[in-house]
Structure formats: C-alpha cells, structure tokens
C-alpha cells in the first residue's frame, strides 16, 4: 500500500472521528440508532439543543431541535430518544431546572403501569409540561413532609406569640403597643359616633341648604339664556366703548400731528429767512453787512466816537467856550489864562 493511500485513509478516519466527536458532544451518538418524538410548548423556558432527556435520573436521549412554529406562538421541541426505549401513551415531557445554575432538561413522566394503553410510534407528540426546581429534585412525599414541618413550626411560633400576648408581662413593648392600638381604635370609634350624632342633628339644616342650592341651580338654569344675553350685550357695549375711545384718541392724535406739521413748516420758513439774511450779511448787503465787511465805515465810526469823546472832555474842562453870547475876545482871554495855568 502506497503512502498516498495511507494518508488518504488516515484523513478519512480523522474526519469521521471529528464528526462523531461533535455529535457526541451535542449528546448524539451516531453509532446508535434513535427515534424522534415531538412536543409543543407554550413556553420553552429557554431549553436548548443538546439538553438531556432523562427518566428517573437516567439519560435516555437529548433535545435535537428547538424552533418557533410559523403562524403560531408555540415552540416545537424535537426529542431524540434511544431506539430501544418504548414510550407509552400519555407520557408527559416536563421541562425542569437541572441544578442551581438554571440548566434546563426534559424529564419523561410515564403514566402508571395499570393505566397504560399501548405504546407511541416514533414521530408522535408527547404531552407538554413544566415543573419547578423543588418539584423536580425533591420527591412528592418528601416535599409534603417538608411543607408539614414548616407549617408546624409556624403554628408553634404563632401559638407562643399568642401565649405571650395573652399571659405575658403587661409592660412588655408588644403589650403596650397593643393597648395603645386598642385606645386609638376606641377614640376613633368615639369620634365616628360623635360625627354620626352631629350629622343626625344637622340633617334638617343640611337638607334645607341642599334644597336652597337646588332651587338656586334651577333658577340659574332657567335664566341661563337671559344671563347669556346680558353678558353678550355687556360685551358688545364694552367693544363699542373701546372703539369710540380709540377713534376719539386717533382723531386727537391726527389733529396734534397736523398742528405740529404746520409749526414745523413755519419754523422751517423762519430758519430759511434767517439763513437768507445771514447770507446777505456775509455778502456785505445792508447796513449790518456793510458794517461787518467795510473797514472804512468802521474807521469813520471810530473817529467819530473819538471826536465825540474829545468834544465831551473839552466841554467839561472849558464850558465857558460854549456859553452863548460870549465874545471872541473874552474867549481868547480865558484860553490864555488856561495856558498859563498849564
């Protein structure tokens, strides 16, 4: 045998062992024959493929497939069971927690031997079911015993508590709290009785008040149209009044603006006249313009002012020269005397 043939055979054996190993890890032994059964669950409780199927703790198969059926909310679970396993009619396939970590498995519950009515053919549907962790891992009788023990313990504790409350120390915190609660309930009952008596004594007044309120409501209901008409008229009058005030105010504003416009026009014309006059003054027109622009007139006025000042001083110092009916000789005489004095 050549080396190539040996290598090819070795490769085929390795591939076959790999396929068998993968299937074995998933829980299926391809070397043994098996049968398929189906279960429809409302809730698969997170069951997964390759989960184990057990009977009385013995592994008899695995979950081959889990899928949601089309057009339905049910989950179809396919169970791959051992070929030599006979499944009687009425068998329940119960999903249970196979440990504290939440791993789920399927447990087959066969009906009692005396109630069996034949066996199921491969491809048949089993009855779905589910049990909790305690129900799956603790036998029913033991579970009843545990529940009975818990009930007895709770009953004993309640009896002890009742005995302590009935014949125990009256100054204990529990007894004092019960007494306070009893007093509170008594006060509440007394207050309720007082309220009942008050309501009974005031029932006539309350009825009269309610009757008056009913009559008032009826009067208001009958006058609803009139009240609505009055409100509408008041609304219209208020609108007209507001409209009249607004029109009057707008008219006054228009008149004020018109007067202000006339005033501004007059002021504009006055400013135009002043501007024209200043232009004439700058151009040397008129007396004021000539006075501002002509130096000779200013000089003449200055000389006239100086001469007037000299004349005034001469009149003050030698008034005799200006006295009427004085002869020329007498004036010259006074002039000579003044010249000597100087």
pLDDT digits over 104-152, tens only?
Answer: 899 999 999 888 889 999 999 999 998 865 555 555 566 577 677 888 7
- Mean pLDDT, rounded, for 197-212: 78
Nearest to 85 by CA among 62, 117, 104: 62
Average pLDDT in the chain: 78
- Hey, what are 21's tokens? 């190993």
pLDDT number for residue 40: 93
Enumerate residues 6+ apart whose C-beta is below 8 A from 111. Answer: 88, 89, 90, 91
pLDDT digits over 67-106, tens only?
Answer: 998 877 899 999 999 888 999 999 999 998 876 676 889 9
Whether 325 shows a pLDDT value over 50: the answer reads: no
Nearest to 122 by CA among 91, 93, 86: 86
**pLDDT band for position 32 (cuts 50, 70, 90):** low
**pLDDT band for position 166 (cuts 50, 70, 90):** low
Least confident of 134-138, 211-215, 285-289: 134-138
Burial of 138 (0-12, 13-18, 19+ CB in 10 A): middle
Rounded CA-CA distance 74/43 in Å is: 7
- Mean pLDDT, rounded, for 161-187: 73
Enumerate residues 6+ apart whose C-beta is below 8 A from 280. Answer: 286, 289
Whether 284 shows a pLDDT value over 80: the answer reads: no
Q: Strands 34-41 and 75-82, how do they pair?
A: antiparallel
H helices of the chain, where? 3-25, 133-137, 140-167, 173-201, 203-222, 224-282, 286-293, 295-317, 328-341
Whether 328 shows a pLDDT value over 70: the answer reads: no
Measured CA distances, 272 to 155, 264, 267, 281, 286 (Å): 119, 12, 8, 14, 18
DSSP code for 339:
H
Domain segments of the chain as ranges: 1-31, 33-137, 144-194, 295-341
Own/partner pairs, 131-140, CB within 8 angstroms, 24+ separation: 131/94, 131/95, 131/96, 131/107, 132/96, 132/97, 133/96, 133/97, 133/100, 135/96, 136/94, 136/96, 136/97, 136/98, 136/107, 137/96
The answer to whether residues 49 and 26 touch, using CB atoms and an 8 Å cutoff, is yes
If you count them, how many residues does the chain have?
Answer: 342
């Amino acid at each position: 045998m050549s080396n190539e043939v040996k290598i090819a055979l070795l490769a085929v054996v390795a591939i076959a062992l790999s396929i068998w190993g993968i299937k074995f890890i998933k829980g299926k032994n391809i070397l043994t024959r098996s049968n398929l059964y189906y279960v429809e669950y409302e809730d698969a409780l997170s069951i997964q493929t390759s989960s184990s199927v057990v009977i009385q703790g013995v592994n008899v198969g695995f979950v081959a497939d889990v899928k949601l059926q089309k057009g339905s909310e049910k989950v179809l679970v396919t169970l791959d069971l051992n070929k030599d396993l006979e499944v009687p009619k009425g068998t329940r396939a119960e999903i249970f927690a196979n440990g504290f970590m939440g791993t789920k498995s399927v447990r087959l519950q066969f009906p009692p031997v005396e109630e069996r009515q034949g066996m199921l053919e491969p491809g048949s549907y089993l009855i779905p079911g589910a049990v909790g962790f305690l129900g799956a891992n603790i036998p029913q009788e033991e579970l009843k015993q545990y529940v009975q023990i818990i009930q007895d313990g709770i009953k004993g504790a309640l009896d002890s508590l009742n005995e302590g409350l009935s014949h125990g120390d009256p100054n204990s915190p529990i007894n004092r709290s019960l007494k306070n609660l009893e007093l509170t309930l008594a006060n509440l009952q007394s207050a309720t009785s007082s309220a009942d008596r008050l309501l009974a004594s005031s029932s006539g007044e309350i009825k009269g008040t309610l009757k008056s309120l009913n009559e008032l409501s009826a009067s208001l209901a009958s006058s609803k149209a009139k009240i609505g008409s009055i409100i509408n008229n008041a609304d219209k009058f208020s609108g007209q009044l507001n409209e009249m005030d607004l029109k009057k105010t707008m008219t006054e504003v228009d008149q004020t603006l018109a007067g202000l416009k006339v005033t501004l026009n007059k002021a504009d014309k006055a400013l135009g006249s002043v501007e024209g006059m200043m232009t004439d003054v700058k151009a040397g027109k008129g007396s004021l313009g000539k006075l501002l622009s002509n130096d000779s007139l200013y000089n003449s006025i200055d000389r006239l002012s100086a001469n007037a000042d000299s004349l005034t001083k001469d009149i003050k110092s030698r008034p005799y020269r200006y006295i009427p009916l004085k002869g020329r000789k007498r004036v010259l005489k006074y002039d000579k005397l003044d010249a000597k004095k100087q």
